[in-house]
Structure 1
Amino acid sequence: MSSSTKSKSRKAASQPNQFEGLTASSVAARMPAWVQCTELAVPIAETRDQVRNLENATPEELRVITKQRLRQEIDFIGNERFSSAREGKRIFAEELGLAERQTALGIAAIRRSGVDLPIHLGRLCEAPLLKPEQERLLFERMNYLLQQAAIHRSVLNPDRPSRHRLELIELYVALADWHRDRIVEANLRLVFSIVKKFVNPNNSFDELLSDGIVALIRGVEKFDFDRGFRFSTYATQVVRRNAYRTVVLRQQERQKVMGGLQDMDIDIGEEERESAISEKRWHELRSRLSVMLGDLDRREKFIIRARFSLGSHRRVHTLQSLADRLGVSKERVRQLERRAMDKLRAMAGTTDLAELEG
């Protein structure tokens, strides 16, 4: 190594890391110019508040934060255009031009739902529908931001944590979330219109709506904007499929528990067998069954849950499969099951189930 090279190396080593010591207020000054557009001023300001914990973090704390970030995958839908160095400038040069929220849209959504809902839920539906070009730009920006965050994440080193990179990752992820939320809120009326068709005595609108919104968010994160069709087409299938699966799984769970109660000789009446059992009575029956199972020993509890597909068991297990799991004979499993059922019948006979009747 030449003397001049050694001199430069010593000089570089003596200088502080340019990425260290940055304050939260300086994040905007260090981030790429393409992201500093007027319409993102508010979310950027909110993001700077979120990264203030990095401002005074010690080197050890930065190492811990770096390890945490490395454990968190950053998923996005890639695009070959994202590899261009000028892609960020191109995407963010276009303005979104999002329209203001409209109270009338939320009120109309509540009325169309056909369900007696609190008026505040209408606020979820106040965002106007997106134009095709707005929708595409939101998806482009969201995935590009996540790709940039993933690039910085890929070079994180816990042994040499970079405050600057961590701040940029937080910034990009937060801005991606902001774009995602704009897509979600513009499509919430779609969720309202779908889930109301699945409401019944055992599945409330509130629960289906909550599940539907989660399904919509996942749909946004998995949608490939470059395939040439509108997100609403994809979202309709995602939300409808999720609502159907939720209703079916809950019905199956009810049938399993009701069957288990009948096998324990608990008379639940014809109305309950018609699956018109109320939510309150349903939860009470599950609670009682859980308490009774808790009084069984470990093997008995496992066998009953596996035989009746209760709890984490998603299918009914055969006597032979349980024998193999427990390392005993098939006949021994049968004896343990019979003993457990006798205990449950005895407990059922002494349990006050009066409030479950009528």
Structure 2
Amino acid sequence: MSSSTKSKTRKAAAAPQRFEGVTASSLAARLPAWLQSPELEVAIAETREHVRDLTDADTSELRALTKQRLRQEIDFIGNERFRSAREGKRIFSAELGLAERQTALGIAAIRRSGVDLPIHLGRLCEAPLLTPEQERLLFERMNYLLQQAAIHRSVLNPERPSRQRLELIELYVALADWHRDRIVEANLRLVFSIVKKFVNANNSFDELLSDGIIALIRGVEKFDFDRGFRFSTYATQVVRRNAYRTVVTRQQERQKVVGGLQDMDIDIGEEERTSAISETRWHELRSRLSVMLGDLDRREKFIIRARFSLGSHRRVHTLQSLADRLGVSKERVRQLERRAMDKLRAMAGTTDLAELEN
């Protein structure tokens, strides 16, 4: 075990009440032996606050918590070896030996991004890369913990709620999240290197980075560690595909708004018609269009959005489909659309859009 890991372990072991509120209940006597492994000391110390102490919870509260937990699926990547009663001891007796975070790694990631970023973002990239053995062990532990949580969840009964079982499920999930976060941290520099290639006038680095991190987390949760290849190979495809989809979707949304404004006879200038809209102008257009649509009545607003594929509408709806949904005739929908368009043209005439052409 590395000196840094030993130091963390000693600090965690020295802390009073190892499982905090959990130890105060009868749960402590029901904990499996592998869960009390020295290798889990640091993780348990850092996840205490995420495990509620249900000692004083009454029956009605426990029933509500049980129903809530039953509504929440626990997804994991299963493995044949998890069926063995000795698997927990094997996984958590192995040495993980994570290295300390390094400030230099974060600073280097910021410099390589080629983007003017606040220095605090570098803290996201201070975790060293994982060795193949560390990576596999983290994935094994995360999914094994989630599998154990799912097993206990499957026998929950709202009519006979179990305080100990609810606490144990929360502990398993919190520990699984801790292991997931270690994988995410070690791969954040990969996200930086991918999303910077998609940055342009319409897609800022910080927005793409946020989307990329979410994609990375989902990738960790869906990765099958037993297939024999490194997670970075899989994560590269996930993050790159997500960034490409984000850029394309935003471009399509811009084209929808610009096309809708043109169909309303709102002149937005030659530059906007070529779709070269800056981020500021784009948000201004959306904001002003949203204000104008807000002045329409409910049916008019729905018809305009559906006819021009705006907002949540991903395709252009026909007059007949809208008539069916609204329970009116096709001609009535046409009249409502014409009335709404006249209102928008009138509002556009009193709205100063000239500044968008600067």
Does TM, normalized by the shorter one, top 0.5? yes
Residue 181 of structure 2 is aligned to residue 176 of structure 1:
no
Residue 289 of structure 2 is aligned to residue 289 of structure 1:
yes
Tell me the equivalent position of 1:44: 44
Amino acid of the residue matched to residue 263 of structure 2?
D
Residue 119 of structure 2 is aligned to residue 151 of structure 1:
no
Greater mean deviation of Cα atoms: 327-336 or 249-258: 327-336
Q: 1:47 touches 1:170 (CA, 8 Å); kept in 2?
A: no
Give TM-score scaled by structure 2 length. Answer: 0.90
Q: 1:25 touches 1:48 (CA, 8 Å); kept in 2?
A: no
Secondary structure in 1 matching 2:54: helix
Q: 1:135 touches 1:183 (CA, 8 Å); kept in 2?
A: yes
Q: Kindly report which structure 2 residues correspond to 1:180-329, keeping only aligned pairs within 5 A, or say none.
A: 180-329=180-329
Greater mean deviation of Cα atoms: 325-334 or 167-176: 325-334
Tell me the equivalent position of 2:60: 60
Amino acid of the residue matched to residue 103 of structure 1?
T
Deviation at residue 86 of structure 1 after TM alignment? 0.5
Please give the alpha-carbon distance, in whole angstroms, between the structure 1 residues aligned to 2:166 and 2:208.
37
Please give the alpha-carbon distance, in whole angstroms, between the structure 2 residues aligned to 1:23 and 1:292.
54
Please give the alpha-carbon distance, in whole angstroms, between the structure 2 residues aligned to 1:307 and 1:227.
47
Tell me the equivalent position of 2:23: 25
Q: 1:139 touches 1:179 (CA, 8 Å); kept in 2?
A: yes
Greater mean deviation of Cα atoms: 127-136 or 322-331: 322-331
Aligned length: 337
Please give the alpha-carbon distance, in whole angstroms, between the structure 2 residues aligned to 1:37 and 1:265.
70
Please give the alpha-carbon distance, in whole angstroms, between the structure 2 residues aligned to 1:281 and 1:40.
51
Q: 2:21 touches 2:53 (CA, 8 Å); kept in 1?
A: no
Q: Deviations over 1:106-153 (max 9, x none)?
A: 111111111111111111111111111111111111000000000111
Residue 336 of structure 2 is aligned to residue 336 of structure 1:
yes
Q: 2:152 touches 2:169 (CA, 8 Å); kept in 1?
A: yes
Please give the alpha-carbon distance, in whole angstroms, between the structure 1 residues aligned to 2:171 and 2:32.
11
Please give the alpha-carbon distance, in whole angstroms, between the structure 1 residues aligned to 2:28 and 2:213.
32
Deviation at residue 28 of structure 1 after TM alignment? 4.7
Please give the alpha-carbon distance, in whole angstroms, between the structure 2 residues aligned to 1:189 and 1:28.
39
Note the residue ranges of structure 1 that are not aligned, 5 or more in a row.
1-21
Please give the alpha-carbon distance, in whole angstroms, between the structure 1 residues aligned to 2:327 and 2:64.
44
Please give the alpha-carbon distance, in whole angstroms, between the structure 2 residues aligned to 1:129 and 1:47.
23
Secondary structure in 2 matching 1:55: coil
Greater mean deviation of Cα atoms: 291-300 or 97-106: 291-300
Q: 1:76 touches 1:146 (CA, 8 Å); kept in 2?
A: yes
Amino acid of the residue matched to residue 154 of structure 2?
S
Please give the alpha-carbon distance, in whole angstroms, between the structure 2 residues aligned to 1:328 and 1:86.
66
Deviation at residue 356 of structure 1 after TM alignment? 2.8
Secondary structure in 2 matching 1:229: coil
Amino acid of the residue matched to residue 103 of structure 2?
T
Please give the alpha-carbon distance, in whole angstroms, between the structure 2 residues aligned to 1:325 and 1:175.
48
Please give the alpha-carbon distance, in whole angstroms, between the structure 1 residues aligned to 2:163 and 2:351.
61
Residue 48 to residue 59, structure 1, CA distance change in 2 (3 Å): farther
Q: Between Structure 1 and Structure 2, whose CA radius of gyration is higher?
A: 1
Secondary structure in 2 matching 1:284: helix
Deviation at residue 29 of structure 1 after TM alignment? 5.0
Tell me the equivalent position of 2:14: none
Please give the alpha-carbon distance, in whole angstroms, between the structure 2 residues aligned to 1:23 and 1:285.
53
Note the residue ranges of structure 2 that are not aligned, 5 or more in a row.
1-19
Residue 90 of structure 2 is aligned to residue 85 of structure 1:
no
Deviation at residue 354 of structure 1 after TM alignment? 4.3
Tell me the equivalent position of 1:15: none
Give TM-score scaled by structure 1 length. Answer: 0.90
Secondary structure in 2 matching 1:116: coil
Please give the alpha-carbon distance, in whole angstroms, between the structure 2 residues aligned to 1:332 and 1:23.
64
Q: 1:149 touches 1:168 (CA, 8 Å); kept in 2?
A: yes
Amino acid of the residue matched to residue 155 of structure 2?
V
Secondary structure in 2 matching 1:221: helix
Deviation at residue 273 of structure 1 after TM alignment? 1.9
Amino acid of the residue matched to residue 184 of structure 2?
V
Tell me the equivalent position of 1:72: 72
Q: 2:51 touches 2:174 (CA, 8 Å); kept in 1?
A: no
Amino acid of the residue matched to residue 309 of structure 2?
S
Deviation at residue 67 of structure 1 after TM alignment? 1.1
Q: Percent identity among equivalent residues?
A: 90
Tell me the equivalent position of 1:14: none
Deviation at residue 247 of structure 1 after TM alignment? 0.5
Deviation at residue 23 of structure 1 after TM alignment? 4.8
Amino acid of the residue matched to residue 322 of structure 2?
L
Amino acid of the residue matched to residue 304 of structure 1?
I
Tell me the equivalent position of 1:105: 105
Q: 1:28 touches 1:36 (CA, 8 Å); kept in 2?
A: no
Residue 50 to residue 329, structure 1, CA distance change in 2 (3 Å): closer
Greater mean deviation of Cα atoms: 274-283 or 216-225: 274-283
Q: 2:77 touches 2:143 (CA, 8 Å); kept in 1?
A: yes
Deviation at residue 278 of structure 1 after TM alignment? 2.3
Greater mean deviation of Cα atoms: 134-143 or 268-277: 268-277
Residue 45 to residue 29, structure 1, CA distance change in 2 (3 Å): farther
Deviation at residue 50 of structure 1 after TM alignment? 2.9
